[in-house]
C-alpha cells in the first residue's frame, strides 16, 4: 500500500514544562526539571504528527524503538520543542531523527522508529488478549 509518505517530512511539537512533566512528579527522579519520559513523549508526538495527516483516518503509527540522549536539564515554565524528520521508510517501518530544544539550547536528540498500523485491525488484535 502506498501511504504517500516522503523522506524529509517534518513536524514540531511544543509544550511549556509544568510540574506534571518533571522528574520529581513522574517518579523518574526527585528534581523538578523536565523528565526524560516527558521528553520522549514529546519526541514520539512530533514523529507521529509528521506523517499522520498523510495516513488518514484508517491508519496510524505506533512506536517500536527509541535511541535517545537527554543532554541537558530544563526548568519548569520554560518552553520545549521537539523537531522530528522522517529519515527512512522501510515498508511499514518509519525511522525519524528528532532533536529537542528548550529556550536556551538543544536538550535531547535521537532516533525513533514507528510502525504503520491499520487502527481497526490493531485494536481487534489487542482486544483478543
Cell match 523522506: residue?
Answer: 7
- One-letter-per-residue 3-state SS of 43-103: HHHHHHHHHHHHHCCCEEEEEEEEEEEECCCCECCCEEEEEEEEEEEECCEEEEEEEEECC
The answer to whether 61 touches 94, Cβ cutoff 8 Å, is yes
Active-site residue, from 44, 61, 74, 112: 44
Q: Kindly name the residue from 19, 20, 36, 103 that is annotated as catalytic.
A: 36
For this structure, is 112 an active site residue? Answer: no
81 is in an annotated binding site: no
Does residue 44 have an active-site annotation?
yes
Active-site entry in 19, 57, 65, 70: 70
For the question of residue 54 being annotated catalytic, the response is no
Closest residue by Cα to residue 58 from 125, 7, 13, 122:
122
Active site positions, annotated: 36, 44, 70
Known binding residues for substrate are 63, 114
Known binding residues for CoA are 63
Amino acid at each position: 500500500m502506498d501511504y504517500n509518505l516522503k523522506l524529509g517530512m517534518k513536524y514540531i511539537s511544543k509544550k511549556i514544562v509544568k510540574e506534571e512533566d518533571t522528574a520529581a512528579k513522574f517518579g523518574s527522579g526527585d528534581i523538578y526539571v523536565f523528565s526524560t519520559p516527558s521528553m520522549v513523549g514529546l519526541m514520539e508526538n512530533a514523529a507521529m504528527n509528521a506523517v499522520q495527516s498523510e495516513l488518514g483516518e484508517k491508519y496510524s503509527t505506533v512506536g517500536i524503538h527509541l535511541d535517545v540522549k537527554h543532554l541537558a536539564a530544563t526548568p519548569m515554565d520554560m518552553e520545549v520543542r521537539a523537531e522530528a524528520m522522517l529519515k527512512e521508510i522501510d515498508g511499514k517501518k518509519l525511522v525519524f531523527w528528532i532533536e529537542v530544544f528548550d529556550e536556551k539550547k538543544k536538550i535531547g536528540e535521537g532516533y525513533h522508529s514507528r510502525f504503520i498500523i491499520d487502527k481497526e485491525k490493531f485494536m481487534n488484535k489487542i482486544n483478543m488478549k
